[in-house]
Amino acid sequence: MSQVALVTGAAQGLGLAIASRLFAAGYAVAITDLSLERAQAAADRLDPSGQRSLALKLDVDSKADFEAALAAVVERFGALHVAVNNAAMTMTTPVMQISPEEFDRVLSLNTRSVFVGCQVFGAHMAAAGYGRIVNMASLAGQNGGTATGAHYAASKGAIVTLTKIFAKELASGGVTVNAIAPGPIESPAVRAAVPPERMEGLLANIPVKRLGDADFLGDLVVQLARPEAYFTTGATWDVNGGLFMR
Ligand SMILES: NC(=O)C1=CN([C@@H]2O[C@H](COP(=O)(O)OP(=O)(O)OC[C@H]3O[C@@H](n4cnc5c(N)ncnc54)[C@H](O)[C@@H]3O)[C@@H](O)[C@H]2O)C=CC1
Ligand SMILES: CC(C)c1ccc(C(=O)O)c(O)c1O
C-alpha cells in the first residue's frame, strides 16, 4: 500500500506542484481545494486512472471540512501519513487602512487553518504513531513583507511559531512538523501580482536573480516526508534566493 498524502489548496500553483511531486514519488494523494470541481480537474490531469488520487472539497476555514476530508482519505486509502497545509490568501491594503474584519479574515484563512490542520491531522497521525506535517509559511513572515501585506506577513510569521509548538507537542507520537518559507516562486500567483513591467525590478532585488521553482518545493516536501527525516522538526526551511538569511 502506498503512503498517503493530503495537500490543501492543491488545485493550482504551489499546492498542485507539491501534490504532483508527492504523486511522482509514489504517494496516494488527496488533492483538496475550496472548489471540488477544480480539485477534481487537477486530480484528473495528474492521475487519469484515479487509482492513487482523491479530489475533495476542503475549505480550510472550516474545521468540519478538515474532519470530513480526513475521514474520506482514511476510508479510501486506510491512513494519512503526510499533510501539507498550503492554502492561503493574499490581500493588499495599506497597513493603516486594514480593517479589523479584513485582518481577522486573513489570519483566519492563513493561520487558524494551519492551527486546525495541525490539530486534526496531527491527532490522527499521533494515534497511528507516525506522520509528517508541512506548513506553508512565507518569506513575508520572516522579513515583514510589504507595507500592503501586513496581515499576510503576520499570518505567515505566526505559522512559523505554530510549527514549533506542534512539533514539540506531536514529537512523542512520531509526527514531525516543519514549515517552508518561500520567496517569490514562478507561479500563477506571482505572475498575477507582478506585471511584466515590474518583473525586472523584482528580479534585480533577488540575489540569485531568478524566481524560485515550484517543483523544487514539491521535492523538498517529499524529502521532509521521508521516514528518515525524523530528525528535522519545528524547522522553517527558507527557499528565497538569498532575500532573507538567518
Ligand atoms: N507563489 C509564491 O511565490 C509564494 C507562495 N507562498 C505560499 O504558498 C501557498 C500557495 O501559494 P500559491 O500557489 O502561490 O497560491 P494560489 O493563490 O495560486 O493558490 C492557492 C490555492 O488555495 C486555494 N484556496 C483559497 N482559499 C481556500 C480555502 N478557503 N480553502 C481551501 N483552499 C483555498 C485556491 O483555490 C488556490 O487553489 C500559500 O500558502 C502562499 O501564501 C508563499 C510564498 C511565495
Ligand atoms: C504570489 C504572492 C503574491 C507572493 C509573492 C511573494 C511572496 C514573498 O516573497 O514572500 C509571497 O509570500 C507571496 O504570497
3-state SS, the chain, equals: CCCEEEECCCCCHHHHHHHHHHHHCCCEEEEEECCHHHHHHHHHHHCCCCCCEEEEECCCCCHHHHHHHHHHHHHHHCCCCEEEECCCCCCCCCHHHCCHHHHHHHHHHHHHHHHHHHHHHHHHHHHHCCEEEEEECCHHHHHCCCCCCHHHHHHHHHHHHHHHHHHHHHHHHCEEEEEEEECCECCHHHHHHCCHHHHHHHHHHCCCCCCECHHHHHHHHHHHHCHHHHHCCCCEEEECCCCCCC
- Rounded to whole angstroms, how far apart are CA atoms 70 and 121? 7
Confidence category of residue 12, pLDDT binned at 50, 70, 90:
very high
Name which of 159, 117, 160, 122 is nearest 9 in CA terms.
117
Ligand lying closest to the C-alpha of residue 149: 2
Query: What is the distance in A from the centroid of ligand 2 to the CA of 169?
Result: 29
Q: Quote ipTM for the complex.
A: 0.97
Q: Quick check: CB of 87 below 6 Å from ligand 1?
A: yes
Ligand lying closest to the C-alpha of residue 240: 2
Segment 95-110 mean pLDDT? 98
Q: Which protein residue's CA is at the shortest distance from atom 12 of ligand 2?
A: 138
| Structural domains of the chain in order of their starting residue, each with its CATH number | 4-239 (3.40.50.720)
What tens digit of pLDDT does each residue of 116-139 get? 999 999 999 999 999 999 999 999
For the CA atoms of 240, 29, 176, 35, the dihedral, rounded to the nearest 10 degrees, stands at: 70
Q: Which positions are annotated as active-site residues?
A: 152
For position 1, what pLDDT does the model report? 66
Look over the chain and give the mean of its residue pLDDT values, rounded to a whole number: 98
> What is the sign of the dihedral through the CA atoms of 67, 174, 221 and 154?
positive
Query: What is the distance in A from the centroid of ligand 2 to the CA of 43?
Result: 25
Ligand 2 proximal residues by C-beta, below 6 Å: 90, 138-140, 145, 183-184, 189-190, 193
For position 68, what pLDDT does the model report? 99
**Quick check: 230 pLDDT over 90?**
yes
Ligand 1 atom, smallest distance to 188 CA: 18
Ligand lying closest to the C-alpha of residue 236: 1
Q: Cell digits for 129?
A: 504513531
Q: Which protein residue's CA is at the shortest distance from atom 42 of ligand 1?
A: 138
Query: What is the distance in A from the centroid of ligand 1 to the CA of 172?
Result: 31
Q: Cα–Cα distances in Å, from 13 out to 50, 140, 171, 196?
A: 21, 18, 30, 19
- Rounded to whole angstroms, how far apart are CA atoms 200 and 240? 17
Query: What is the distance in A from the centroid of ligand 1 to the CA of 87?
Result: 5
What tens digit of pLDDT does each residue of 77-92 get? 999 999 999 999 999 9
What tens digit of pLDDT does each residue of 29-79 get? 999 999 999 999 999 999 999 999 999 999 999 999 999 999 999 999 999
Q: Quick check: CB of 84 below 6 Å from ligand 1?
A: no
